[in-house]
Chain A
Amino acid sequence: MVTLYHYLVLSALLFGIGLYGVLTRRNALLILISIELLFNAANVNFVALNRYLYPGQPLGQAAVLFVIAVAAAEAVVGLALVLALYRTFRTLQIEKIDLLKG
């Protein structure tokens, strides 16, 4: 029997994986990929809590729609910034992008 706890643990696992990716990736594009995983972990949580605690009133699903829209905006701006970074520095390795390092 699938309980709410299964979904919550799954989303925590997904969040942990995404966090590991954000912290360890050296490529700016791959960090953006990991951030998408974080968004999806939150979305699974929203929908699961909605289904189990407040069935019949899809407020959580509406919140997920908002999260997806904001995530799309984030991805668009983030990817534009990645392209601008690549044009300026000719690399995407984030440790080489150190213009502000004293």
Chain B
Amino acid sequence: MIEFWMFNAMALLTVVPALLAVTVKNVFHAVLWLALSLVGVAGLFIILGAEFLFVVQILLYVGGIVVLLLFVVFLSGRPSDWKGRSSNEQWLGALLLSAVLFSSLSAVFRMMPSAKPVTGSPGPAILSLARILMKDWALPFEILSLVLLAALVGAVYFTRPDQERKGGGPW
């Protein structure tokens, strides 16, 4: 029973801030609503027994990506950007498309095998998680570090001032 109410609370904490994050006009507020929605997703991870993912979600998303987004909010944008509508003219079509996608996904999910609700708390998954990452999926794990390195180099390249970029960029 307590799981049911926790699920409801976390679902509310996820969906309502997400709705606000895609509708509010102020960019700063949208980033803050996104952070709250990510906290809700972290709560869902806890209910699902993925405590390591909870930590990663808080550290990486709420602590890392959201702060990065806030920095970009401060560094870019003009006051004239925040005037006028925050959504474009296609909002009705987009709303219809999203609603159709949601309802069809829900219909498909109803055909999923109705798994029995798991009872009892799961044991700590971190040991087997480490075994998967370091043993079974060791090669993808190392490739991922290359991806992160490429992202780092790309970010440094794109944000260099113009005069330092000697003939490299297209503009």
**Segment 3-18 of A: residues with Cβ below 8 Å from B:** 3-10, 12-18
Q: How many residues of A contact B (CB 8 A)?
A: 75
Decide: B21 and A21 in contact? CB cutoff 8 A: yes
Among the listed A18, A34, A75, which residue makes an inter-chain contact with B68, where contact means beta carbons less than 8 Å apart?
A: A75
Given A15-B105, A16-B101, A91-B78: A10 in contact with B72 (beta carbons within 8 A) = no
Among the listed A3, A23, A70, which residue makes an inter-chain contact with B115, where contact means beta carbons less than 8 Å apart?
A: A3
Q: Mark B91-105, 1 if CB is under 8 A from A, else 0.
A: 101110111011001
A5 to B62, CA, bound (A): 27
Q: How many A-B residue pairs have CB under 8 A?
A: 242
Among the listed A23, A47, A79, A91, which residue makes an inter-chain contact with B50, where contact means beta carbons less than 8 Å apart?
A: A47
Decide: B158 and A81 in contact? CB cutoff 8 A: yes
Among the listed A7, A24, A30, A68, which residue makes an inter-chain contact with B30, where contact means beta carbons less than 8 Å apart?
A: A30
Decide: A64 and B68 in contact? CB cutoff 8 A: no
Could you list which residues of chain A lie within 8 angstroms of chain B, going by C-beta atoms?
Answer: 1-10, 12-21, 23-27, 29-30, 32-34, 36-37, 40, 43-44, 47-48, 50-53, 55-59, 61-62, 64-66, 68-77, 79-84, 86-88, 90-93, 95
- Between A and B, 10 residue pairs with Cβ closer than 8 Å are A17-B19, A17-B22, A29-B73, A37-B18, A61-B50, A61-B52, A62-B129, A64-B53, A80-B156, A83-B159
